[in-house]
Amino acid sequence: MSSLIELKNTSKIFGTGWFSRKTVALRDFSISVNEDEPAITALVGESGSGKTTIARLILGIIPPTTGEVLYRGKAVAQLSRAERRQFRRDVQVIFQDPFEVYNPFYKVDHALHLPVRKAGLASSRDEAVEIIETTLRQVGLNPRDTLGRYPHQLSGGQRQRVMVARALLLNPKLIVADEPVSMVDASLRATILENLRLLNTEFGISIIYITHDLTTAYEISEKIVVLYRGVVAEQGDVVPVVEEPEHPYTQLLIGSIPMPDPDQKWQQGLEVVSPTTDGADDTMNAEYTGCQFADRCPHAMDICQVAAPLYQTAPNRVVSCHLYRETAVV
């Protein structure tokens, strides 16, 4: 097993100045992306859950406060120039907002030619054009309708698919997709998710799909990590986690999803405890060591003053909740 990217017990604390309060964005998080078995892994959580922090750690944009980020077993900060170049090709990103990633003064061609040139993918301009056109077709775009245009002349869906094409150009091993469909209309959402899955099945690319939308995560991913205020609540294969959630937070989350079915109303009797401290400030404080969800949890116990470790409730499944303290700790 060779892992392409590995996060080992990483934590990220912001605001470490003398006067600013420390905010823990991510606590003791580990994940490993295996090159041999490309999979789609969904990171699901509300805002402030740490999902974008994880993306930025994986991409090497920010360093972890503690723990390690490893690329092929080597710390990202210590990569040689050549290794770093390879890292930058192997790990690609698709951002949330397809409106902000383009320079409005350049045609979209620029965003596609630049990586081709920087990575030395083509020896001539004609060859570059050919590679770009092939890639655009692979994501379902017609090069004639796309190339030679300015970003504002494309629809949001087209712009996002050009970004998928840009990521695909470099033949990456891992694509981090940070909320790729949250700014796209419902009718196009399915098409872009289909693109992502194609990247996984056809091109063998691992995908980390970051979202707040559990339904799309359920549709396209194999594995899921449910995050809450910087810690893993529950993690495992997507079908059991979504269909039989074990952590009270996952249960609350799934019970609150509005189903497009008038016969299935918001789960009645589901206890919604309002947080005593609205806003996550207090529990995300570095000194707080209890369970992050305790203040909203209908099952909260005295023991929840101490954060739960990850209990292994099934072969591929871990839950961070004291309700499962009978099972073994990972």
Partner 1 sequence: MSAETHANGGHSAALDVNDLGVSYYTSSGEIKAADGVSFSIMPGKRMGLVGESGSGKTTTALALMRLIKPPGRITKGSAVIDGIDLLSLSEEEMRTAKLSQIALVPQGAMNSLNPVAKVKNQIIDGLRDHDAQHSASQYRELVTELLDKVGLNRQVGDMYPHELSGGMKQRVTIAIAISMGPKVIIADEPTSALDVVVQRQIMETLAELQDELAAAILLIGHDIGLMAQFVDTLGVMYAGRLVETGTLRQLLSEPKHPYTQMLIDSLPSLERKDRKRGDLRGIPGTAPSLYALPSGCPFHPRCPQAMDICPSEEPLLKVVNDDHVANQGEQQAACLLY
Q: Which residue number, 94 or 280, has a Cβ lying nearer to partner 1?
A: 280
270-289: which residues touch partner 1 (CB under 8 A)? 272, 274, 278-279
Does residue number 269 form part of the binding site for partner 1 (CB under 8 A)? no
Does residue number 268 form part of the binding site for partner 1 (CB under 8 A)? no
Does residue number 262 form part of the binding site for partner 1 (CB under 8 A)? yes
The CA R_g of the chain, rounded to the nearest whole Å, is 21
Q: In this structure, what DSSP letter does residue 53 have?
A: H
**Shortest CA distance to 276 belongs to which of 288, 255, 299, 293?**
293
Distance CA 4, CA 33 (A): 6
For partner 1, the binding residue among 66, 118, 148, 266 (CB under 8 A) is: 266
Q: Which residue number, 1 or 186, has a Cβ lying nearer to partner 1?
A: 186
Q: Which residue number, 71 or 249, has a Cβ lying nearer to partner 1?
A: 249
| In contact, 46 and 233? CB cutoff 8 Å | no
Does residue number 216 form part of the binding site for partner 1 (CB under 8 A)? yes
The minimum distance between CB 227 and partner 1, in angstroms, equals: 12
- For partner 1, how many residues bind (rule: CB under 8 A)? 45
Distance CA 161, CA 165 (A): 6
Does residue number 149 form part of the binding site for partner 1 (CB under 8 A)? no
Does residue number 194 form part of the binding site for partner 1 (CB under 8 A)? yes
Does residue number 157 form part of the binding site for partner 1 (CB under 8 A)? yes
Contact segment (CB under 8 A) with partner 1 among 7-15, 25-33, 98-106, 238-246 equals 238-246
Does residue number 260 form part of the binding site for partner 1 (CB under 8 A)? yes
Q: What ranges make up the beta strands (E) of the chain?
A: 3-14, 23-34, 40-44, 66-71, 74-75, 91-94, 174-178, 206-211, 223-228, 231-237, 311-314, 317-319
Contact segment (CB under 8 A) with partner 1 among 131-139, 152-160, 164-172, 317-325 equals 152-160
Other C-beta atoms lying within 10 Å of the C-beta of residue 168 = 22
> Which residues contact residue 281 at a Cβ distance below 8 angstroms, ignoring those fewer than 6 apart?
21, 23
Does residue number 253 form part of the binding site for partner 1 (CB under 8 A)? yes
Cβ-in-10-Å burial (0-12, 13-18, 19+) of 50 comes to buried
Does residue number 39 form part of the binding site for partner 1 (CB under 8 A)? no
Q: Which residue number, 269 or 279, has a Cβ lying nearer to partner 1?
A: 279
Q: Which residue number, 17 or 260, has a Cβ lying nearer to partner 1?
A: 260
- The strands making up 174-178's β-sheet, listed across from edge to edge, are 91-94, 174-178, 206-211, 40-44, 223-228, 231-237, 317-319, 311-314
SS3 content of the chain, % helix, strand, coil (to 5): 35, 20, 40
Contacts with partner 1, residue ranges (CB under 8 A):
46-47, 155-158, 185-194, 197, 212-216, 218-220, 239, 242-243, 252-254, 256-262, 264-266, 272, 274, 278-279
